[in-house]
Amino acid sequence: MNETIATGLRQPGGPVGLPDGRVALVEMGDSRRCLSVIAANGTRHEVCRPGGLPSGVAVDGDNCFWVAGGPENSLVRLSPEGRTLQVIEGGRDGPFLYPNDLAFGPDGLLYMTDSGVRASDLLEGADVHPDFFRAPYNGRVYQIDPGEGRVLRVLATGLLHVSGIAFGPDGRLYYSETLTGKIHRQIVGARQELFAQVIPAPAVTALRGPAGMAFDRDGTLYCALYGLGEVCLIDPAGKTAGLIRANGMRPGNVAFTPDGKHALITEQENGALERIVAPRPGLPLHMPSI
């Protein structure tokens, strides 16, 4: 069993390790829908309830929180105290549908996945809609200028529930397509290519597949397999290099602590934040000042 450092969370997502040892995450459960911070001793502090259905979080160099899934499916920037500073609702192609996950790039820009379907087409309360696979998905990956507060480009479209997003040590952008079991990558703005196929067949009868992810410094990708109870380790060639069991069947995301020594897993079946000793040091996140 992995070490559990916090329990009683309501559909946790994120997480992001903070420099002071705390962990920022979002809670998507209807009773909270909030941004929370977990102290080293496991104590939970609710920062704010930004509205909407918060599903992902990133932190910039000014210690502000960027939350995917704010009011009206927006992207919001919050002060360290939880005050709303900025709201981005979409781009020239229309409003966001279901913002999912976030990552800052080495260029100082912000990158976001949008699952490409309304939450009402995917969820019935806290449960997955039985016809989830038939929903009209148009998952997208956005490049966003955080300083100007606008979408610069749509980097990918037509994805079936795009979820996790991360930059590798090679500088390329990686993102997961949950329902097909694929992880794609691209040099930003260039042609998309398949990096890895982590489940062999599409998820038709149950929502499962690759979700949130993070890299270690050697280029191994750690990808949470939602609905399968594992974190998959994928080597730089796109081959499975190992599996780490989560304590429940619904790990949603993975992140490393700032010192790279531990990996953090948000697990939704048990409403928990798990921690393991990292097999290899984690790759530091980009956290630009805005």
pLDDT in tens, 218-256: 999 999 999 999 999 999 999 999 999 999 999 999 999
pLDDT, average across residues 34-48: 97
Q: To the nearest 5 percent, what fractions of the chain are helix, strand and coil?
A: 5, 50, 45
User: What pLDDT was estimated at residue 123?
Assistant: 72
Q: Which tens digit of pLDDT belongs to each residue from 71-87?
A: 999 999 999 999 999 99
pLDDT surpasses 70 at 148: yes
User: Rounded to whole angstroms, how far apart are CA atoms 85 and 246?
Assistant: 36
User: Rounded to whole angstroms, how far apart are CA atoms 42 and 267?
Assistant: 15
If DSSP codes are grouped into helix, strand and coil, which group holds residue 233? strand
User: Rounded to whole angstroms, how far apart are CA atoms 159 and 137?
Assistant: 7
User: Rounded to whole angstroms, how far apart are CA atoms 89 and 185?
Assistant: 25
Q: Which tens digit of pLDDT belongs to each residue from 175-231?
A: 999 999 999 999 999 999 999 999 988 877 888 999 999 999 999 999 999 999 999
pLDDT, average across residues 139-143: 98
